[in-house]
Amino acid sequence: MAKLKSRSHRPALADSTMVERIVTLGQRIRAARMHRQWRQVDLAERTGLSRSTIEAIERGEPGTAIGGYLQVLWVMGLDRELDLVADPGLDREGLALTMSTADKRVRPTRKVDNAF
């Protein structure tokens, strides 16, 4: 697996914590499917995805498109909490950076000359 370039100080997708989260999400999706007594084929038909994509999602394959995960969650009615993902109001680091005065440009005060 090729390492993805990271644009910030955060580690690439191959980080073990991130992989664990994706695998856990896949396991939860599988459990939700089984509670509904749906086969993988049933879920594939309802989502319009292939059965192999459903298998990859349930295994928590990091290379599987996020759209597939979202489609599965939506079909099962588990998409409501997605509104909280990357919510700017809950982004502590982003809010702290916005509020930081250290990076703000300081302009020298100029006297206003009203002489025309």
Specify the DSSP class assigned to residue 104.
Answer: S
The answer to whether 53 touches 46, Cβ cutoff 8 Å, is: no
Specify the DSSP class assigned to residue 2.
Answer: P
Q: What is the mean pLDDT of residues 83-100?
A: 85
Q: Give Cα separations from 67 to 18, 38, 74 (angstroms).
A: 17, 20, 10
Domains along the chain?
16-98 (1.10.260.40)
Residue 1: pLDDT band by 50, 70, 90 thresholds?
A: very low
Percent of the chain with pLDDT strictly greater than 90: 53
The answer to whether 20 touches 11, Cβ cutoff 8 Å, is: no
pTM of the entire predicted model: 0.70
C-alpha dihedral over 109, 110, 114, 116, to 10 degrees?
A: -160
